[in-house]
Amino acid sequence: MIRRILVLGVLGAVVLVGVYAAVTLYDRYMPAGRMWETPAVKPHDQPVDPMGEGVVPFSGGEAQLRATPAQNLHPPYDRVDNEIRKKGKIAYNRFCVQCHGRHYDGMGTVGQSFSPLPTDLTRPQVQNMPAGEMFRSISYGTENGRQPPLHATIPPKERWYVIAFVKSLDE
Ligand code: HEC
């Protein structure tokens, strides 16, 4: 009887040591740290990293564009070439085609249900519109709220590309 208890005790001890060894081995080689081993950093324990240049803007940005009157808004390119028109077409097909349509006549999948239809972009009224004014219409919408403000959707550079593309439609 006593021998049996001894054998069981020894067996139990062996199992316990085995489990312990397995757990420590697993711990040592596991890819993530245990919660209690990760360093606790109190606020201001470590120096704050210096902020990189340009992280806080002092100039430019949407607010400044919005505050600029149309006649002072100028495209970033001097001349419209095919490269710019191509980028403009890609942007048109991404951001405008659903309303203004594949033929620029306002018969897009969404636009066709508008009454009246979205402006036909080949019309002289649009073709002769100063680029800065078109920039403001696209970016901040028209006053009647029908052209949606897209400043949060399209980066300024792509707005200028799309304007170059639209203004070359009657060529
Ligand atoms: C939600 C549908 C919709 C989308 C998307 C849209 N438009 Fe329009 N757009 C309209 C409607 C509607 C009008 C007519 C506005 C009016 O009645 O004055 C309009 C008018 C215009 C005008 C004439 C603006 C003016 O001041 O008279 C231009 C230029 C124009 N859109 C260009 C674009 C371009 C470029 C895009 C893509 C970047 C675009 N639109 C995206 C619906 C849309």
Q: How far is the CA of 64 from the centre of ligand 1 (A)?
A: 22
In this structure, the residues whose C-beta lies within 6 A of any atom of ligand 1 are 95-96, 98-100, 110-111, 114, 118-119, 126, 134, 137-138, 142, 144, 146-148, 150, 154, 162, 166
Cβ proximity of 135 and 73 under 8 Å: yes
Q: State residue 85's pLDDT score.
A: 96
Rounded Cα–Cα distance for residues 84 and 96 (Å) = 17
Nearest to 91 by CA among 30, 131, 138, 147: 138
Would you give the distance in Å from CA 29 to the centre of its chain? 38
Q: State residue 133's pLDDT score.
A: 97
CA 96 to ligand 1: nearest atom: 37
Amino acid at 27: D
140: which residues sit within 8 A by CB, 6+ positions away? Answer: 66, 149, 151
Q: Which residue's alpha carbon is at the smallest distance from atom 19 of ligand 1?
A: 147
Work out whether the CA dihedral 105, 107, 108, 111 comes out positive or negative. positive
Q: Which residue's alpha carbon is at the smallest distance from atom 11 of ligand 1?
A: 118
Q: State residue 52's pLDDT score.
A: 86
Q: State residue 25's pLDDT score.
A: 87
Token pair for residue 166? 């639209």
Residue 33 Cα distances to 23, 29, 67, angstroms: 14, 10, 51
Q: How far is the CA of 60 from the centre of ligand 1 (A)?
A: 25
Rounded Cα–Cα distance for residues 126 and 159 (Å) = 15
Rounded Cα–Cα distance for residues 37 and 72 (Å) = 59
Q: How far is the CA of 78 from the centre of ligand 1 (A)?
A: 25
pLDDT truncated to tens, each residue of the chain (171 aa)? 889 999 999 999 999 999 999 988 888 887 776 776 677 777 777 787 888 887 887 878 899 999 999 999 999 999 999 999 999 999 999 999 999 999 999 999 999 999 999 999 999 999 999 999 999 999 999 999 999 999 999 999 999 999 999 999 987
Nearest to 159 by CA among 142, 128, 126, 136: 136
Token pair for residue 56? 């806080």
Q: State residue 58's pLDDT score.
A: 80
